[in-house]
Amino acid sequence: MLAKLQVLSGRGDNAASVNKHSNMACAKMMKRYFYHQVSLKNMSKCEYCGGKMTKAYRFLGFLSALAAYPFIAASIMLSPWFNPYNNALSDLGNIARNGWVANLYNLGLVSSGFLAAFFGMLISVKHCSWKYLCWSILLTIAGFDLALIGFFPEDAGRIHGLVSEIFFVSIILVMLAYGFCSRYLGSPKTGAAAFLLGSASIIVWMVKWPWRGVAIQETIASLAASAWLIMVSLRGFKKAGNPVKPEC
C-alpha cells in the first residue's frame, strides 16, 4: 500500500513538473509573439514615414531643378531688347539696365539655388556615406553659388563673374561625381546620363561658337544640370529611401 502511494506521488510530481514546464514554454512563446507584433508595427510605421520622406525629397529635388525657369522665361518676355546671340542670361538680372524685371530674374535664381542647396544638405545629413557625400556636397555648393548669382547681379562687379564661373564648373563636377558614384548607388543608367550631360556641358563651353553672347551656352549647361537633377529626384534616389538610420 505504501509503495503504491509512493508511485502515485511520484507520478503526481512528474505531472506537476510537466505542467510547470509547459506553462513556461507557453509564456515564452507569448512573449516572443508579443515582441514580434510590436516590431512589425514599428517597422510598418518607419516604412510609412520613409515613403513620405522619400517623396518629399523627390519633390524638393524636382522643384529645385525647375524653379528658376518660369522667372527666366518671364524676364525674357518682359525684356524685348534681349537677344540670346548677343547677350548673357545675367544681362536680365542687371538692375541698372532692366529695373524691376531684373529683381524678378534674380529672385528665380535665389529661390532655385536655395532649394537645390537644401536638397543637397538633406542628402548629406541623412546619408553620410562617401557614395552620397562625393556629389551631394558639390550639389550643395552649386546651389548656394546659384543663389549668390542672384544676390550679386551683373552690375555688382567682378564678384558676379566669379560666382557665375564657380557655378557652371560646380554643376559639371557634380554630374561627373554622381556618374562615378552611381555604380555604388544602384543607378547605373542615371549615372551614364550624368556622364553624358556633364561631358556635353564641357564641350559646350570649350567650342568657339559664331555668336558673341553666352546665353545659349548658359541655357544648355543649365538644362543639362536640371535634367540630371530631375532624374536623380525621380529615379536615382530610390536607393536612399531607407530612413531608419544613416549609412555611417
Residue 200 has pLDDT above 60, yes or no: yes
Q: Which of 14-18, 77-81, 185-189 has the highest mean pLDDT?
A: 77-81
pTM: 0.74
* pLDDT of res. 175: 96
Alpha-helical (H) ranges within the chain are 2-66, 68-77, 95-126, 130-151, 158-185, 188-206, 215-231
Quote the CA–CA distance of 227 and 224 in Å, as a whole number. Answer: 5
Quick check: 120 and 140 in contact, CB under 8 A? Answer: yes
Minimum mean pLDDT range among 67-76, 84-93, 162-171, 179-188:
179-188
Average model confidence (pLDDT) for the chain? Answer: 81
Quote the CA–CA distance of 38 and 40 in Å, as a whole number. Answer: 5
* pLDDT of res. 32: 56
